[in-house]
Amino acid sequence: MNLWHRLPVFLGLIYLAIRRHLHQQYNLINVGTTPKGVRFNPADHPYRTANGEYNDPFGEGVGAQNSFFGRNNQPVDQTDELMKPDPVVVAVKLLSRKKFIDTGKQFNMIAASWIQFMIHDWIDHMEETNQTEIVAPPEVASQCPLKKFRFYKTKEVPTGFYDIKTGSLNIRTPWWDGSAIYGNDAEKNAEVRTFKDGKLKIANNGLLQHDQDGIAISGDVRNSWAGVSTLQALFIKEHNAVCDAIKGENPFLNDEELYRHARLVTAAVIAKIHTIDWTVELLKTDTMYVALHANWYGLLGKKFKDAFGHVGSEILSGYVGMKKPENHGVPYSLTEDFTSVYRMHPLLPDTLHLRDTHAKPGKDKSPPMKQEVPMIDLIGLKGEKTLTNIGFTGQLVSMGHQASGALEIWNYPKWLRDIIVQNPDGSERPDHVDMPTLEIYRDRERKVPRYNHFRRSMLMIPISKWEDLTNDAEVIKTLREVYSDNIEKLDLLVGLMVEKKIKGFAISETAFFIFILMASRRLEADRFFTSDFNEETYTKKGLEWVNTTESLRDVITRHYPEITEKWMNSTSAFSVWDSTPNAHNPIPILLRVPQH
């Protein structure tokens, strides 16, 4: 059954529900010993802690900073094949961008920045302290900006368990807790707070503040760029506005109490926008529209839930507000496989199309072009300086009007083949890296199965020939050459890019099946989206704030009404802003049949 996406919406939903159920049974694998912590009383911690502890009532360390990455598929040791085929050859021949491919009007640069903002909330691997080196082989060296480069291996840590013996540690809290703005530990958290009325630090120009070394002050700033800093700044404003609103209703709450409530609210707003706005633009079909709204509101919909609260099952009323969190018997974590399918660097273009936001809007509210700014000038510490000159409005509106890159073969930005990388604290490292080469190496080093094995393990039909992936003769010829005509050797990242996409999907189906499992899990396993999604924990004002915020557009409008008014014609802030607003369709959505 690989034509589920052509079924009428209600049948497609049934297929996806069964599929998710199967993945919950077969594709959630614990790494490390199962927590045997004493059950604590959740009422003692009615807030998100700085390092993610005390969320799961049955294991205080579940989802904490430096806990293990879990897995969706059994690990496949590739110690003997780390360099086979040579990752530099894969990067040069199959990844490196030939000609920029974009996503048309579907997905803009705010959407690309958004997912990086989320990655910086969820995952980052702890590294070894000693370095290793990759040298470009002579056959491709002339096509490599770095003939060799040094980097830190992923730290392999004993699990103390007989089944999966080693694993890696997540230095970010995997909960959907806004840690990209609040930090992943108490020290960072103290740095970003003002300790007055619950608020966070933000500069007068509406952008992030910086320390004496030019490093931005926010929860997680490692390997970031101007686009992500802009979103961090926007959500700091959101947090601070929530503090004011809650204080208005509860004038006696102190700094700590206001901070805790506002963090819960802001994290929930982020999770909601991701679920019913960002992902809807990523997977633009009627079936996915309903499925994603159902994750938040349930099939009975928003009006019903607003009126009657969470009634019945998660199918009818959504995950949010469920009576109890649900982890399907496996303590919550994000996974190695999840990290791999989120390797989406081809979303990045070569230049930012900077717009003139002082001019008059042109056709469909599009601002005139001012200048093309190379992406390399917008990353890291240099990027922060460039952003100061561009300003919040210029950056946001420009990203709104520019399409992101497409997740396709031969579309990995060339400028990422020679970049400065940073330490976890945001300071720069002396050794530049070649990102596409490193990414191929990382998946192998972390024992993530290669593409075809990954598919089998994800209950998908494996490919039996290159033609199952693509019709493009030139691509097939190159795949044959690089992988010595052995489809089992195909790297996951390459497979995800080459795979024919479902109409309306910006990602591959293989990646998508990890998504339906893990996107639901981020909500249902978290007590603050389930048993503690209530007025007592969030405050009445806070819950109302989450209930009435439906999109990124709403958040932008709240803080910058003139931006949406003047520059945004699209319905979603994640599609290109001069596109036509969604039209009304009189056919009830559950009965629609996808048109191909």
Ligand X SMILES: *[C@@H]1O[C@H](CO)[C@@H](O)[C@H](O)[C@H]1NC(C)=O
364, 377, 428, 550: residue in contact with ligand X (rule CB under 6 A): 364
- Binding partner at 130 among ligand X, ligand HEM, none, C-beta below 5 to 8 Å by kind: ligand X
Q: How far, in Å, CA of 265 to CA of 222, rounded?
A: 25
Task: Name every residue whose Cβ is closer than 8 Å to that of residue 317 and which is 6 or more positions away in sequence.
Answer: 297, 298, 300, 304, 305, 309, 310, 311
Q: Which residues pair with 352 in a beta bridge?
A: 373
**Is the Cβ of residue 144 or residue 264 nearer to ligand HEM in the bound state?**
144
Of the candidates 120, 125, 261, 310, the residue annotated as catalytic is 120
Angle, in degrees to the nearest 10, between helices 509-524 and 9-26: 70
342 near ligand HEM (CB under 6 A): yes
220 near ligand HEM (CB under 6 A): no
Q: How far, in Å, CA of 186 to CA of 209, rounded?
A: 19
176, 182, 225, 412: residue in contact with ligand HEM (rule CB under 6 A): 225
- The amino acid at residue 582 is N
Query: Smallest distance, Å, CB 320 to ligand X?
Result: 6
Query: Smallest distance, Å, CB 385 to ligand X?
Result: 34
**Is the Cβ of residue 44 or residue 77 nearer to ligand X in the bound state?**
77
What's the sign of the alpha-carbon dihedral 119, 121, 123, 129?
Answer: positive
Write a three-state SS string for 565-587: HHHCCCCCCCCCCCCCCCCCCCC
Q: How far, in Å, CA of 36 to CA of 174, rounded?
A: 20
223, 357, 386, 520: residue in contact with ligand HEM (rule CB under 6 A): 223
**Is the Cβ of residue 125 or residue 261 nearer to ligand HEM in the bound state?**
125
568 near ligand X (CB under 6 A): no
97 near ligand HEM (CB under 6 A): no
The number of helices, as runs of H, and strands, as runs of E, in the chain is 24, 8
Is residue 183 helix, strand or coil? Answer: coil
544 near ligand X (CB under 6 A): yes
339, 357, 411, 457: residue in contact with ligand HEM (rule CB under 6 A): 339
Q: Which stretch binds ligand HEM (CB under 6 A): 36-44, 76-84, 120-128, 322-330?
A: 120-128
Q: How far, in Å, CA of 188 to CA of 459, rounded?
A: 41
348 near ligand HEM (CB under 6 A): yes
Say if strands 369-374 and 351-355 run parallel, antiparallel, or are unpaired: antiparallel
Alpha helix segments (H runs only) across 274-423:
279-282, 286-297, 301-308, 314-317, 336-341, 380-390, 392-400
Q: Which residues pair with 498 in a beta bridge?
A: none
What's the sign of the alpha-carbon dihedral 596, 289, 575, 221?
Answer: negative
- Binding partner at 123 among ligand HEM, ligand X, none, C-beta below 5 to 8 Å by kind: ligand HEM
Query: Smallest distance, Å, CB 449 to ligand HEM?
Result: 17
57, 174, 219, 321: residue in contact with ligand X (rule CB under 6 A): 321
Query: Smallest distance, Å, CB 228 to ligand HEM?
Result: 7
153 to 182: interface string for ligand X, x by CB under 6 A? x-----------------------------
353 annotated as ligand-binding:
no
Q: How far, in Å, CA of 536 to CA of 321, rounded?
A: 13
How far, in Å, are 15, 402, 552, 569 from residue 364 at the CA level? 39, 14, 20, 6
**Is the Cβ of residue 319 or residue 412 nearer to ligand X in the bound state?**
319
- Binding partner at 544 among ligand HEM, ligand X, none, C-beta below 5 to 8 Å by kind: ligand X
Q: How far, in Å, CA of 98 to CA of 474, rounded?
A: 13
Q: Which residues pair with 127 in a beta bridge?
A: 154
**Is the Cβ of residue 377 or residue 544 nearer to ligand HEM in the bound state?**
377
Q: Which of residues 128-167 bind ligand HEM (CB under 6 A)?
A: 151
112, 217, 397, 403: residue in contact with ligand HEM (rule CB under 6 A): 112
Query: Smallest distance, Å, CB 128 to ligand X?
Result: 5
Query: Smallest distance, Å, CB 542 to ligand X?
Result: 8
**Is the Cβ of residue 130 or residue 484 nearer to ligand HEM in the bound state?**
130
Query: Smallest distance, Å, CB 292 to ligand HEM?
Result: 18
580 near ligand X (CB under 6 A): yes
- Binding partner at 365 among ligand X, ligand HEM, none, C-beta below 5 to 8 Å by kind: ligand X
Residue 233 burial (CB < 10 Å; 0-12/13-18/19+)? buried
Q: How far, in Å, CA of 159 to CA of 167, rounded?
A: 6
**Is the Cβ of residue 419 or residue 555 nearer to ligand HEM in the bound state?**
419
DSSP labels, 101-168: -B-TTS-BHHHHHHHHHHHHHH--B-EEEEEEEEE--HHHHTT-S-SEEEEEEEPPEE-S-SSS-EE-
239, 247, 343, 401: residue in contact with ligand HEM (rule CB under 6 A): 343
Q: Which stretch binds ligand X (CB under 6 A): 2-10, 274-282, 304-312, 587-595?
A: 304-312
Q: How far, in Å, CA of 499 to CA of 549, rounded?
A: 35
Q: Which of residues 97-136 bind ligand X (CB under 6 A)?
A: 128, 130, 132
Is 62 within 8 Å of 47 (Cβ atoms)? no
48, 345, 401, 527: residue in contact with ligand HEM (rule CB under 6 A): 345
**Is the Cβ of residue 321 or residue 380 nearer to ligand HEM in the bound state?**
380
- Start-to-end Cα distance in the chain: 17
347 near ligand HEM (CB under 6 A): yes
Residue whose structure tokens are 């924990």 = 537
Check if 120 is active-site.
Answer: yes
**Is the Cβ of residue 334 or residue 563 nearer to ligand X in the bound state?**
563
DSSP labels, 230-256: HHHHHHHHHHHHHHHHHHHH-TT--HH
Catalytic residues: 120
Annotated binding site for heme b: 345
Name the site residues for ligand X (rule: CB under 6 A).
128, 130, 132, 153, 305-306, 309-310, 321, 364-365, 540, 543-544, 547, 569, 580-581
Name the site residues for ligand HEM (rule: CB under 6 A).
112, 115-116, 119, 123-125, 151, 223, 225, 339, 342-345, 347-348, 379, 419, 421, 438, 442
Annotated binding site: 345
